Amino acid sequence: VPQHAWSPGTAGSGKTLFGVQYLVAGIERYEQGGVLVTFDEAAQEIVRNVASLGWDLDRHSRERRLAFVDVAAVAGEEVVEAGHFDFHGLLARVEQAIERTSPLRVVFDSLTGIFPQFADRQAVRRELHRVTSRLRDLGVTTLMTAERSEEYGQVARYGVEEFVTDNVIILRHPLSRER
């Protein structure tokens, strides 16, 4: 079983669905808890979007089998980068969620949402690396999604994500009948 997998896909290829399905399968089939860390969309937006597939994420959350860590940017908030930073705050929230749900599966959706927020990409790489090693120590399996800029090219937009993971799952959304 891969401990850290990473699934890049272009926009619309189903990265979020893939991540959510991974968590739901863990909960419903294997009685494994899950944590969903959302960078691109607010957690409640994802809950609404997948409800039509019959996935009741709110219920799983109430029953403490699923926890959300919402890191999506909030409209109207202004963010200024003012010096050196780490991701210990994120880790504190993820660890709190892990304690609450005792999960074996953690999904980050998506890494692409993190990078544009910071000028210091080297620091983002270093901190992501630290977050994944900590999660590895905690014995959870981490799945990270990321957006690709094109279907068949460089795997990751920021050329980093392969290094922090053990496995890569690529999602493609080919056009079957182009007009």
Partner 1 sequence: VSDKGELRLYVTGSTLLSERAIETIQWCLREGLGNVYACEVIDALERPDLADRDGIFATPTLVRRSPPPVRKLIGDLSDRTLVLSSLRLDAHLEDTAGERRAERG
Site for partner 1 in 111-150 (CB under 8 A): 118, 127
* Identity of the residue, 9 or 103, whose beta carbon is nearer to partner 1 in the bound complex: 103
Residue from 12, 54, 84, 176 that binds partner 1 (CB under 8 A)? 84
Please answer whether residues 20 and 53 qualify as being in contact, where contact means their C-beta atoms are separated by less than 8 angstroms: no
Which residues on neighbouring strands pair with residue 141, listed in sequence order? 105
Residue from 2, 28, 81, 154 that binds partner 1 (CB under 8 A)? 81
**For helices 15-30 and 43-51, angle between their N-to-C axes, nearest 10 degrees:** 80
Residue from 25, 51, 53, 92 that binds partner 1 (CB under 8 A)? 92
Please give the Cα distance from 62 to 140 (Å, whole number): 21
Stretch that binds partner 1, among 19-27, 45-53, 90-98, 134-142 (CB under 8 A): 90-98
Stretch that binds partner 1, among 7-15, 71-79, 101-109, 152-160 (CB under 8 A): 71-79
- Going by C-alpha positions, the residue among 64, 56, 77, 4 that lies closest to residue 35 is 64
Residue from 23, 69, 106, 156 that binds partner 1 (CB under 8 A)? 69
Other beta carbons within 10 angstroms of residue 89's beta carbon come to 10
Please answer whether residues 108 and 37 qualify as being in contact, where contact means their C-beta atoms are separated by less than 8 angstroms: yes
Q: How many residues bind partner 1 (CB under 8 A)?
A: 25
Does position 64 interact with partner 1 (CB under 8 A)? The reply is no
Does position 66 interact with partner 1 (CB under 8 A)? The reply is no
User: Could you give the count of Cα atoms lying within 13 Å of 114 in the half-sphere of its Cβ?
Assistant: 26
Please answer whether residues 28 and 35 qualify as being in contact, where contact means their C-beta atoms are separated by less than 8 angstroms: no
Does position 83 interact with partner 1 (CB under 8 A)? The reply is yes
Residues that bind partner 1 (CB under 8 A): 69-71, 74, 76-90, 92-93, 95-96, 118, 127
